[in-house]
Structures are given as structure tokens and as C-alpha cells.
Amino acid sequence: MMHAFPVVTRFLNRSLTLALLLPLLLWMSMANAATTTLLVMGDSLSAAYGIERQAGWVNLLSQRLGDEVKVVNASISGETTSGGVTRLPELLGQHAPDIVLIELGGNDGLRGLSPKQMRRNLSTMIEASQEADAEVLLVGIEIPPNYGQAYTQAFKTVYRDLAEQYEVPLVPFLLDGIALKDDLMQDDGIHPTAEAQPRMLENVWPELKALLPKQVAATAE
């Protein structure tokens, strides 16, 4: 009988270990399952050009959402829709996002590139994101009127038409309430200051929160 005690002891220790570990493993599994991943595909407006990165609106969004949402900011200053098309597939595979926020096109416009090509590129990005089971939020930008009425209108229409075609939410103009205020724009007249970033976040928030889990959106209000 004495020889059985070590076996019983090992069995009890193992059972206690499992009893302690199982709730922890279950909690970790639930926590991982509840985490939402947001991928931001933007240009300098989302990459905090000219200011401290932590002051940028994407970082402010990450702070607002806390641990409930993993925010991956893949924005690059100078990025065009063509660059976004090239980079997106790898990012989708790497991060498996639940939401893809597309804020591109401004550099296409400033370079006078074809709105038709911009439309094709954004369409490709939207379709790729949806095929990866991600929700899409399209964030638009407007270009200065000195590019001509026909071009600026064609450029602006791209975002609206794509939002309708793919039934995705649209933020019409990221710099709404900012672009015409000198005190909220850097000296180049293109990029917003650090003081403008909270307003940019508020421009995006109404459409973004509708894509988030209700509990997360409510907590972040």
C-alpha cells in the first residue's frame, strides 16, 4: 500500500494543476476570441506626418479603444492607392483584421493621377478586404480647387460611388472642419497639426464605432 502513495500524490498534484490551469486557459481563449483587430491603410494624414506619432489621430484612437481592439497602423507618408493595393494582401494575411480602414487617395489627387485608376485601386482593396471577411470603412479626402472643378469633382465622387457600390460606410472628408483653418494646418497647408488630430478622430468615430462590437463601442464613448 505504501508504494501506491507516490502514484496517488502525483495524480492529485496533476489534477490540482489542471484544475488551476483550465480556468486560466479558458479565460485566455475567450480574451483572444474577443479581441478585434483594426488595420489602418493610410497615407501621411494617418501616419502623423510632421508631428509626434503618439499625437496622431490613429494613436489617439488606439488609446480610446484600449486593450479591446488591436490597432495596426500600416499608414505610410506619400502612399498612393497603387501602393496600398501592393501592400494590402500581405497585411491581410499577417494580421487577419476584422476591420480595414482605407484612407488613401490624397496623394493620387495631389499628383494629378487618374481618378479612374484610383477607383480601380480602391475597388481592389475593398474587395480583397471583404474576401478576407473584414468590414471596410472608407475614409475620403478632398483636394484643393486649383486642380480644376472637373477633376476635383471626379475625385470626390470616387469615394461616394464606391461606398454605394460595395455598401461600406464612408467618412466623406477626413479633414472636415480642419482644412480651411490655418491654425489647425501645418505651414505646408496640406498636413494637420497636432491640435487637429482629436477633431480628425471625431470625424472618423461615428462611422467606425458602428463596425465595432457594441460593448467595445459603448465603453470607448
76, β-bridge pairs: none
What DSSP assignment string belongs to 8-48? HHHHHHHHHHHHHHHHHHHHHHHHHHH-EEEEEEE-TTTTT
Cβ atoms 80, 108 nearer than 8 A: yes
* 75 is an active site residue: no
Which of 67, 182, 183, 188 does the annotation list as catalytic? 188
Our answer to whether residue 95 is catalytic in this structure is no
Q: Which of 91, 89, 127, 123 is nearest to 105 (CA)?
A: 123
Q: Edge-to-edge, what's the strand order for the sheet holding 135-139?
A: 69-73, 36-42, 99-103, 135-139, 170-171
Chain length of the chain: 221
Cell of 85: 493595393
Task: Say which amino acid occupies 145.
Answer: P
> Which member of 43, 44, 62, 129 is catalytic?
44
CB half-sphere exposure, 166, CA atoms < 13 A: 25
Residues assigned a catalytic role: 44, 188, 191
